[in-house]
């Protein structure tokens, strides 16, 4: 029966990795903790068994926009769903409650703050609940990257619903967070399913940021014209500035951050998901639950706080399995700034925990090891180097340049200025700057003054970065540069220093995309895409809810001309064909 539902309701010919095991566990009434990468198909694991059960499934979700998106997607498939959250009027909530009492719903989405009330708990006790779903379950853990007090309170569910199974889903979880989720939710001997971390359709690029990074960003975007993407920035102000800059340069972008009024955030989210704008420039407020399948790129304009944040955010790209690309721009000042914020955290153990996370994400960005392998190892997974899906693997055989002499120049300058200055001052000495501050300190009298004019200022900054990542240099108070024990070995020529030659250039990021699984007619694809957009506009839903890009490409490849052949395509079931099939068949027939 589950295979029939899989095809007819959800349009899939087979289960993905671990989906069937998760579905079976729920049907057997077990507690479940499922850790599956974004795009791995977590939603189907709880939606399919719900359709084989008599009662209602309660889904706890952290974001109103995500909740609305998922409810719309279910209703578009004639799978009755509704939500209750703080954005609704009393009348709207009363209508949902009436549907609950009339047994008209299969799914109810609740925000955690709405669930954690006496009224909601009493309401739920009067329903025939199949099981609870805790989405984005990492929010429960105080050792996670998006801890929320309202989520921690979900631990009381077991007290009120002792015999109702609980399923928890997340895309990221270290063993520490996994244990915390299990204990906090009081899961009863749960089945734990953990998928492989590797996202084989995502190419990872990492570059040292030059200046504000705008030139590097625009070079990257040239390879992504008319594609949807997200650009993450570190502050509200930077989001606004970058969006203005992009719009002035011919791109279509909007902003999303916590400082915007809620109705503006929701409107911008809707405009983006409906394909009416290409780029969302956002802070981490746009970090969770973006259920949009056709995001082709994700850019970080600075270093994320943790590898959990980074992995969650790049996971917004390529949820449909299609080739996608990410770009991370960073420099050491990002790490220094983040560490400054830790001084205000009263819990020293927690502050130390965050300090270590910052160190790890910086090490990730500066390392020359496969980026996918590093991510997998962070989450206690194993992976061989990806070979072709990240900069480090493609650049493995790249020419290296010896910079021992330049390193000695920098170290000597730091030593001669008593380790009392930051990188700008040190580089200005090497470059023979006429800055008044240098001359007032008699820096022009030093033997190292002006010995580095053979390198540009940008090149010197990158060499300093290399010395920092190798821990030949350290950063002290007020961003002063300090020598480490390894610096002594370099100064004595007992240790050499090299660097990828490409790092001393502003590297052009090429869209190194994976080859498509199959060839398809690009002209027909665009015609089908236009029809999808028109239908979505009429229904008031996001286009990908009609059909994903992968399904449209399959249609543009196989060009089915009747119902039977169209149902052979993955992503099209009976319900979707009955709703939209004839419209797309007509486009194909006209094209042929």
Domains parsed from the chain with CATH numbers = 2-194 (3.40.50.300), 202-394 (3.40.50.300), 404-496 (1.10.10.10), 522-591 (1.10.150.80)
What six digits make up the tokens of 115? 């669930």
CA dihedral (314, 317, 322, 323) positive or negative: negative
User: Residue 513 pLDDT > 60, yes or no?
Assistant: no
The predicted model scores a pTM of 0.69
CA atoms within 13 A on the CB side of 575: 20
Interatomic CA distance for residues 190 and 94, integer angstroms: 35
Residue 320: which of 535, 571, 66 has the closest Cα? 571
Helices (H) and strands (E) in the chain, counts: 29, 17
What 3-state class would DSSP assign to 132?
strand
Instruction: In whole angstroms, give the CA distance from residue 564 to residue 567.
Output: 5
How many Cβ atoms from other residues are within 10 Å of residue 266's Cβ? 16
Kindly give the pairing relationship between strand 473-475 and strand 481-483. Answer: antiparallel
**Backbone phi and psi for residue 527, each to the nearest 5 degrees, phi listed first:** -65, -40
Instruction: Write the pLDDT tens digit of every residue in 519-559.
Output: 788 888 888 989 898 888 888 888 888 888 888 888 888 88
Cα torsion 287, 289, 290, 296: sign: positive
State residue 25's pLDDT score: 95
Residue whose C-alpha is closest to residue 239's, from 300, 177, 151, 161: 300
Q: How far apart are CA 482 and CA 547, in angstroms?
A: 56
Q: Which three-class secondary structure state does DSSP give residue 2?
A: helix
Helix (H) or strand (E) holding 98: helix 90-101
Q: Count Cβ atoms below 10 Å from residue 248 Cβ, excluding itself.
A: 8
User: What's the confidence (pLDDT) of residue 324?
Assistant: 94
> pLDDT class for 518, splitting at 50, 70, 90?
low
Query: What are the φ/ψ torsions at residue 517 (nearest 5 degrees)?
Result: -65, -30
At residue 509 the predicted structure's pLDDT band, cuts being 50, 70 and 90, is very low
Assign 205 to helix, strand or coil. strand
CA–CA separation, 253 and 228 (whole Å):
10
What distance in Å separates the CA atoms of residue 482 and residue 414, rounded to the nearest whole number? 7
- Residues 229-245: what's their mean pLDDT? 94
DSSP state of 516: P
Answer for the pair 299, 220: CB distance below 8 angstroms, yes or no.
yes
Which among 231, 68, 62 has a CA at the least distance from the CA of 135?
62
Residue of 437, 435, 417 lying closest to 426 (CA atoms): 417
Residue 511 — pLDDT band, cuts 50, 70, 90? Answer: very low
Q: Which residue has better confidence, 285 or 582?
A: 582
CA–CA separation, 315 and 293 (whole Å): 10
DSSP string, 454-507: TS-HHHHHHHHHHHHHTTSEEE-GGG-EEE-HHHHHHHTTSS--EEEGGGGS--
Let me know if 434 is exposed, middle or buried by CB neighbors in 10 A (0-12, 13-18, 19+): exposed
CA distance linking residue 346 with residue 156, whole number of Å: 27
> How many CB atoms are located within 10 Å of the residue 467 CB?
27
What six digits make up the tokens of 293? 């399948």
Q: Distance of alpha carbon 448 from its chain centroid, rounded? A: 45
Confidence of residue 132 (pLDDT cuts 50, 70, 90): very high
Cα separation, 173 vs 35, in Å, equals 7
Provide the pLDDT for residue 514: 47
With tokens 């194993």, the residue in question is 382
- Comparing C-alpha atoms, which of 421, 507, 125, 144 is closest to residue 305? 144
* pLDDT over 50 at 507, yes or no: no
Residue 25 token pair: 């566990």
pLDDT at 32 over 90: yes
Residue 40 reports pLDDT greater than 80: no
Model confidence band, residue 147 (pLDDT cutoffs 50, 70, 90): low
Are the CB atoms for 288 and 255 separated by under 8 Å?
Answer: no
The better pLDDT of the pair 116, 245 is held by: 245
The pLDDT tens digits for 412-439 are 999 999 999 999 999 999 999 998 888 9
Mean pLDDT is lowest, of 70-84, 160-174, 337-351, for: 337-351
Q: Which residues partner with 253 through β-bridges?
A: 279
Q: What CA–CA distance (Å, rounded) separates 169 from 190?
A: 12
Give the mean model confidence (pLDDT) for residues 199-219. Answer: 91
**Can you tell me the distance from the alpha carbon of 137 to that of 134, in angstroms, rounded to the nearest whole number?**
6
């Amino acid at each position: 029966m589950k295979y029939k539902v899989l095809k007819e309701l959800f349009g899939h010919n087979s289960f993905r990795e671990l989906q069937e095991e998760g579905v079976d566990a729920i049907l057997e009434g077990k507690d479940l903790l499922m850790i599956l990468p974004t795009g791995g198909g977590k939603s189907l694991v709880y939606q399919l068994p719900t359709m084989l059960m008599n009662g209602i499934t309660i889904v706890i979700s952290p974001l109103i926009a995500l909740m609305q998106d998922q409810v719309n997607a279910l209703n578009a498939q004639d799978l009755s769903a509704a939500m209750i959250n703080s954005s609704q009027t009393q009348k709207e909530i009363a209508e949902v409650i009436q549907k609950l009492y009339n047994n008209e719903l299969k799914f109810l989405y609740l925000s955690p703050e709405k669930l954690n009330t006496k009224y909601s708990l009493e309401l739920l006790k009067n329903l025939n609940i199949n099981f609870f779903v805790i989405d984005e379950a990492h929010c429960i853990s105080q050792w996670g990257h998006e801890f929320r007090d309202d989520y921690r309170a979900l631990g009381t569910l077991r007290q009120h619903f002792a015999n109702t199974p609980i399923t928890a889903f997340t895309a990221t979880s270290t063993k520490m967070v996994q244990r915390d989720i299990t204990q906090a939710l009081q899961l009863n001997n749960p089945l734990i399913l953990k998928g492989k971390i590797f996202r084989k359709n995502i190419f990872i690029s990492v570059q040292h940021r030059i200046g504000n990074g705008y030139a590097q960003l625009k070079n990257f975007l040239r390879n992504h014209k008319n594609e949807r993407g997200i650009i993450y920035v570190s502050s509200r102000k930077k989001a606004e500035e970058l969006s203005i800059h992009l719009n002035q340069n011919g791109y279509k972008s909007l902003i999303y951050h916590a400082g915007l009024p809620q109705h503006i955030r929701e409107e911008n989210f809707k405009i983006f998901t409906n394909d009416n704008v290409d780029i969302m420039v956002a802070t981490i407020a746009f970090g969770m639950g973006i259920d949009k399948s056709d995001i082709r790129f994700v850019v970080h304009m600075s270093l994320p706080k943790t590898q959990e944040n980074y992995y969650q955010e790049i996971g917004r790209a390529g949820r449909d399995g299609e080739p996608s690309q990410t770009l991370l721009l960073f420099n050491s000042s990002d790490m220094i700034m983040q560490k400054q914020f830790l001084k205000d955290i009263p819990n020293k153990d927690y502050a130390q925990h965050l300090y270590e996370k910052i160190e790890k994400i910086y090490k990730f960005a500066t390392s020359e090891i496969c980026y996918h392998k590093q991510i997998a190892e962070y989450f206690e997974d194993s992976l061989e180097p990806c070979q072709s899906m990240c900069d480090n693997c493609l650049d493995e055989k790249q020419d290296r340049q010896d910079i021992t002499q330049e390193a000695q120049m920098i170290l000597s300058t730091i030593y001669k200025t008593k380790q009392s200055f930051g990188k700008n001052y040190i580089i200005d000495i090497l470059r023979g700057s006429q800055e008044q501050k240098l001359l007032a300190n008699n820096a022009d009298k030093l033997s190292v003054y002006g010995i580095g004019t053979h390198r540009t200022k940008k090149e010197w900054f990158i060499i300093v970065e290399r010395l920092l990542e190798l821990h030949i240099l350290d950063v002290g108070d007020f961003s002063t540069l300090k020598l480490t024990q390894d610096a002594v070995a370099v100064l004595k020529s007992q240790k050499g220093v090299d660097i990828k030659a490409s790092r001393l250039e502003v590297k052009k990021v090429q869209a190194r995309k994976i080859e498509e699984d199959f060839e398809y007619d690009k002209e027909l694809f665009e015609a089908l895409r236009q029809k999808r957009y028109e239908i979505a506009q009429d229904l008031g839903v996001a286009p990908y809810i009609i059909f994903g890009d992968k399904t449209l490409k399959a249609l543009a490849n196989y060009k089915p001309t009747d119902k039977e052949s169209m149902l052979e395509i993955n992503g099209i079931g009976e319900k979707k064909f009955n709703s939209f099939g004839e419209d797309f068949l007509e486009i194909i027939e006209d094209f042929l």
